[in-house]
Amino acid sequence: MERQMITEVQGARRTVATYGSYLEAQRAVDYLSDHNFPVQRAAIVAEGIRLVEQVTGRLNYGRAILNGALSGASTGLFVALLLGFLGFLGPAAGAAILSLALYGLIFGAILGAVLGLVGYAVTGGQRDFTSISGMQAERFVVMVDAEVADDATRLLASLSTGR
């Protein structure tokens, strides 16, 4: 558990602890809450933010079509079921909902495949990979209003010592 006790003044709030993970910072604020600290006067601030893009695979025409078809099918199914459940079908809704869902799934898959193909063709091979992007922080700072910072520091010191 990487943690530092800091009393740096930043505006009307003071940093009372720094953690290496969000879960540790969350646990600290939960500890404050459990000890009747006014947690509405606290904040967890992520610092050292960076964007990380994890490459998950190669992208080619076949995969672009498949990804588009899967995305389109799920969207088509969702829209069809939404329209069906909202009652736009009249009295024979049970069978009609299933029929509408099937048509939505098929039409969505076809449209999604076409859009996936066109989208990939437009890039001209400049992005031949798939990826997932996410934000990462270097550290998570627990800040509280300056008036209650001493109480928070005292409580968090007892958390780190296990008392």
CA-CA distances (angstroms) from residue 24 to 19, 21, 29, 145? 6, 5, 9, 20
| Residues 112 and 75: beta-carbon distance below 8 Å | yes
Report the 10 Å Cβ neighbour count for 149.
19
Contacts of 1 (CB under 8 A, 6+ apart): 19, 20, 24, 160
Q: pTM score, two decimals?
A: 0.58
Q: What average pLDDT does range 129-136 have in this prediction?
A: 92
Find all residues with CB under 8 Å of 4, minimum gap 6, and list them. 17, 18
Residue 94 pLDDT: 67
Percent over 90 (pLDDT), the chain: 71
Q: What is the pLDDT of residues 46-96, one digit of tens each?
A: 999 999 999 999 999 999 999 999 999 999 999 988 887 776 555 556 677
pLDDT confidence band for 10 (50 / 70 / 90):
very low
Identity of the residue numbered 51: L
Confidence (pLDDT) at 120: 92
Structure tokens at 154: 């005292």
Domain boundaries, the chain: 3-49+137-161, 52-134
CATH 3.10.20 is held by the domain 3-49+137-161: no
